Amino acid sequence: MLKLSYQVVRRLSVSVHRCHSLETKTHTWPRKIFSGVQPTGCLHIGNYLGAVKRWVDLQNAGEDVTYCIVDLHSITLPQEPEILRHNCLQMAATLLACGIDPMKATLFVQSAVPQHAELSWILGCMTTMARLTHLPQYKEKSAKLKEIPLGLYIYPVLQAADIMLYKATHVPVGEDQVQHLQLAQSLARAFNNRFGTTFPFCEAKVSDDTSSRLKSLRDPAKKMSKSDPDPKSCIMLTDEPKVIQEKIKKSVTDFTSEVTFDPEKRPGVANLITIHSLTSGKTPAEIFVEAKGLNTGQYKQQVTEALVEHLNPIRIQIGRYMDDPNYLTAIIENGCEKARSTAERTITEVKEKVGMNAFSVIRQQAIRRKELAK
């Protein structure tokens, strides 16, 4: 009799899970956008033009947006506490200076919302070691280390928790992060199939323009990166006009003096035209017409002027915010409060479905019995 009951329950469970899978496909989720940025110092123009400027555009288009300073991710490699604290403040100041509006977007610091770590543990119990070792950033970073921290290994699970905690339907990512988003998609699907429809299928919003692929000023064969040992390889948002001028002047082009847009044969000049286009709002074709008769040395001055005009207000505003840490703290605390409210609802639902609410159920039953007795 006991065996028969178990089989009946098992068949019912399978049937329910099939219904949940069908519901996931047909369920309509409100459109929500989530993205995060590590507090690893000031942003360079590649970060700004390829990511943050897009965030501002999404916010101003009226989207439901949540943006997170992911300090938990940053400690996967050693960090000095004072530097990490400064970097979190500077990142908040930078995002606000770039146009993120706390009245239109939820802006917060990841470690202030403990539900990120809670959901990460639950999801970590649903993935495999083999899956995590195949992810590209783990391969890239672990290759340079003798001893690999556990955090570096499992941080894509935390990344999935970041997304799923706010039930995001769309995530702006670079091409190098698409596989990590696929892990989040896989975990959402696995959770829904096992416990019932809980999370939406999140789609990647990969930029199809050149803003996310700016090249190093010193080596146009490489992507622009602030980890590059040559400080002249990228332009930071906090660079003074004279510093920008020097970096553009020293940027690598070629031996042809004419200004032409040919990313394959003339990547250095094409990179400058791309930067000029993105900061001035002009198309490469318009720039080509304006630069007719100029050699590359003269054209670099035009690029410098466009960059300084676009970035100077941002640099000045970052300084103003950094001079008022109390204001920054108030903005972030408000954002953390909004994020915690959403995260608490999600984690309560997750714990209930996973079976971690035994004592709360007993307490609710006891309350109900008292009410009936009255």
CB atoms within 10 A of CB 175: 11
Residue 300 annotated as catalytic: no
* Of residues 106, 159, 164, 166, the one with CA closest to residue 337: 106
Candidate list 53, 104, 226, 353, residue with the active-site label: 226
Cα 181 from Cα 154, distance rounded (Å): 14
The β-bridge relationship of strands 33-37 and 65-69 is: parallel
Question: Sheet harboring 105-109: ordered strands across?
Answer: 105-109, 65-69, 33-37, 170-173, 203-206
Candidate list 53, 104, 223, 249, residue with the active-site label: 223
Residue 141 annotated as catalytic: yes
Instruction: Tokens 């989207």: give the residue.
Output: 63
> What does DSSP assign to residue 228?
S
Amino acid at 274: T
Instruction: Tokens 């080509």: give the residue.
Output: 288
Q: What are 374's two structure tokens?
A: 């009255």
**Could you tell me the CA-to-CA distances from 169 to 28, 164, 188, 231 in Å, in that order?**
10, 9, 11, 37
Using an 8 Å Cβ cutoff, are 67 and 61 in contact?
no
**Could you tell me the CA-to-CA distances from 373 to 10, 360, 369 in Å, in that order?**
36, 20, 6
The H or E element that residue 302 is part of is helix 296-322
What distance separates the 2 farthest-apart alpha carbons in the chain?
Answer: 92
Q: What are 178's two structure tokens?
A: 């698409």
Hey, what's the torsion of the CAs at 198, 68, 138, 234, to 10 degrees?
150
Residue 353 annotated as catalytic: no
Residues 6+ apart with CB under 8 A from 160: 120, 123, 180, 183, 184, 187, 188
Residues composing the chain: 374
Using an 8 Å Cβ cutoff, are 134 and 110 in contact?
no
List, by residue number, the catalytic residues: 141, 223, 226
